[in-house]
Structure 1
Amino acid sequence: MIKPLRNALVAAAVLGSVSQAALAQTPNNGRPAAAKNVVLVHGAFADGSGWRGVYDLLTARGYRVTIVQNPLTSLEDDVAATKRALGRQDGPTILVGHSWGGTVITEAGVDPKVSGLVYVSALSPDAGETTAQQYEGFAPATEFVVDKAQDGFAYVDRDKFKAGFAHDASDADAAFMRDSQVPINLSAFASKLKNAAWRTKPSWAVIASEDKAFDQAMLDHMAKRIGAKVTKVSASHALFMTQAKVVADVIDQAAKQAAAAAK
């Protein structure tokens, strides 16, 4: 066989193999695959255990779910923890944040594995903005009371925890959340973001209509600004735990719809 012809045939065979491999990653006539990975990011004063209900529902549907344990020591530290979790994913991933976790996913969500963002009564600053700026111009929370420690960290007031954070949880669940709080370094709220993933990634928002931590107008404003597809549910700020099915359903929708949006 003439050498140039042989080389051409080899090259064609290689390209054919590459094309088949690519199609395996993008089924349905080459369209991007729906995300099968989900990374959940908790907010301030909480830890990853509150996601258990969402985790159970999503894993039952075949998703691979990873829960980030934020140290809540700084925006940089929480973003680093989230990036480590993203680094373990094997393909398209839906990144989900509750409350302060929304700030974290906004910064970390520029990772190329992230195909969509879900904000669960969550903050969503723009690049160059701080978390604290999101509260400007909106009514302050009246039942959500924070105790500041001398070292710059803060907890939700023990006596007002259920009313302000989780009024729709059982007494036992609210007490456990209250007594297992993870304090957040308040200086994190003054850190400016370098990136705003919602500017390039499709976004969804689940908003608790009885949230006492944020003004409803503030939640509506943030969701509208980022162009999120909004689902409202009657729930407290702890909706990531008390409304697990609603949250899981929205994540499921995001995983399927983000692939279509990427076409």
Structure 2
Amino acid sequence: MIDRRKFSTLLTVAALTSAVPNAPRAESRPTAKNVVLVHGLFADGSCWTEVIARLQAAGLNATAVQNPLTSLEDAVASARRVLARQDGPTVLVGHSFSGMIVTELGVDPKVSALVYVAARAPDAGEDYAALAKTYPTPPASAGIVYDGEEGRLGEEAFLRDFAGDLPEAQARVLHAVQQPFQKGLLAGRTTVAAWRTKPSYYAVSTEDRTIDPDLERFMAKRMGAKTIEVKASHLALISQADTIAKLIIEAAGRP
């Protein structure tokens, strides 16, 4: 005979679990040995240098993608090629705009977990620009300079609103090596939301002037991510490299 009360309880638990994007699963996920890191706008792959050194010291194989910043399709394809070279479970990490790439590519079977660092985390097909407009416009937006279809962040805005907690000399070097982006990149929309099926982690930058911190909190909460708050500018991956590396190591399932 079926115990109807017990059966009803099981159905209720199942319904609650399915409603939460990252509800704990009975099976354990594999420990990752690889990390793929993707940079966003106004940067290049070298922005991950401090984090990579710490991941390597922890025994992880870390690779930074050189994001072409031409279109979302091109950017995802570039990251996919790097992911394809990984041998085994891999943590996919995105900063800033590249959260779009993590959200799209993260459904790949090799990806064991997702990490967002002050990053965009759209839902499938969502208009991120429309979502962002429901929050205060971040100061850095006013500092974007266009040469035709090519955009970059002006030096004053870069130093004040993008890398505000870094030494000025270091920030000027980062400004000099930033990779310009194409306007068409900003029009891309994700077709899937990997955070609905993969364990997700989010680092909110509380002093961010490039993405509104409350928008970051909203996206992290919506995805059910393990969330930390870091007192940092948009470049927490540099100014707070220890903290960001620890979050990635945790996502990899390492002690």
SS in structure 2 of the partner of residue 84 of structure 1? helix
Instruction: Give 1:127's aligned amino acid.
Output: A
Distance in 2 between residues matched to 1:241 and 1:138, nearest whole Å: 26
Distance in 1 between residues matched to 2:219 and 2:241, nearest whole Å: 22
Which of these residues, 125, 130, 138, is aligned with residue 127 of structure 2? 130
Which of these residues, 103, 106, 109, is aligned with residue 106 of structure 2? 109
CA contact (8 A) 1:93 1:115 kept: yes
Worse overlay, 165-174 or 142-151: 142-151
Distance in 1 between residues matched to 2:237 and 2:44, nearest whole Å: 11
Which of these residues, 148, 151, 158, is aligned with residue 151 of structure 1? 148
Distance in 2 between residues matched to 1:37 and 1:248, nearest whole Å: 13
CA contact (8 A) 1:125 1:131 kept: yes
1:222-248 per-residue CA deviation (whole Å, 9 max, x = no partner) reads 111111111111100011111111000
| Structure whose CA Rg is larger | 1
Residue number in structure 1 paired with 2:42? 45
The answer to whether residue 207 in structure 2 is matched with residue 210 in structure 1 is: yes
Which of these residues, 191, 195, 201, is aligned with residue 194 of structure 1? 191
Distance in 1 between residues matched to 2:140 and 2:39, nearest whole Å: 21
Instruction: Give 1:109's aligned amino acid.
Output: G
CA contact (8 A) 2:65 2:79 kept: yes
Distance in 2 between residues matched to 1:45 and 1:119, nearest whole Å: 17
CA contact (8 A) 2:143 2:157 kept: no
What is the CA distance between 1:32 and its match in structure 2?
4.4
The answer to whether residue 155 in structure 2 is matched with residue 166 in structure 1 is: no
What is the CA distance between 1:172 and its match in structure 2?
1.5
TM-score (norm 1): 0.83
Which of these residues, 82, 87, 90, is aligned with residue 87 of structure 2? 90
SS in structure 2 of the partner of residue 106 of structure 1? helix
What is the CA distance between 1:31 and its match in structure 2?
5.2
Distance in 1 between residues matched to 2:212 and 2:103, nearest whole Å: 20
Residue number in structure 2 paired with 1:181? 178
The answer to whether residue 250 in structure 2 is matched with residue 247 in structure 1 is: no
What is the CA distance between 1:64 and its match in structure 2?
0.5
Instruction: Give 1:33's aligned amino acid.
Output: P
What is the CA distance between 1:216 and its match in structure 2?
1.6
Q: Which runs of 5+ in 1 are unaligned?
A: 1-29, 258-263
Distance in 2 between residues matched to 1:179 and 1:215, nearest whole Å: 25
What is the CA distance between 1:143 and its match in structure 2?
4.5
Residue number in structure 2 paired with 1:99? 96
SS in structure 2 of the partner of residue 192 of structure 1? coil
Distance in 2 between residues matched to 1:95 and 1:53, nearest whole Å: 17
Task: Evaluate the alpha carbon distance shift between residue 187 and residue 130 of structure 1 in structure 2; reply closer, same or farther with a 3 A threshold.
Answer: farther
Distance in 2 between residues matched to 1:68 and 1:220, nearest whole Å: 26
1:140-168 per-residue CA deviation (whole Å, 9 max, x = no partner) reads 01255333324222111222211110111
Instruction: Give 1:90's aligned amino acid.
Output: D
Instruction: Give 1:197's aligned amino acid.
Output: A
CA contact (8 A) 2:40 2:96 kept: yes
The answer to whether residue 221 in structure 2 is matched with residue 224 in structure 1 is: yes
The answer to whether residue 77 in structure 2 is matched with residue 80 in structure 1 is: yes
1:17-56 per-residue CA deviation (whole Å, 9 max, x = no partner) reads xxxxxxxxxxxxx954300100000011100101011000
Distance in 1 between residues matched to 2:93 and 2:115, nearest whole Å: 5
Task: Evaluate the alpha carbon distance shift between residue 175 and residue 107 of structure 1 in structure 2; reply closer, same or farther with a 3 A threshold.
Answer: same
Instruction: Give 1:104's aligned amino acid.
Output: I
Distance in 2 between residues matched to 1:119 and 1:77, nearest whole Å: 20
Which of these residues, 220, 229, 234, is aligned with residue 231 of structure 2? 234
What is the CA distance between 1:180 and its match in structure 2?
1.1
Q: Percent identity?
A: 45
Deviant stretches of 4+, over 6 Å: none
Residue number in structure 2 paired with 1:11? none
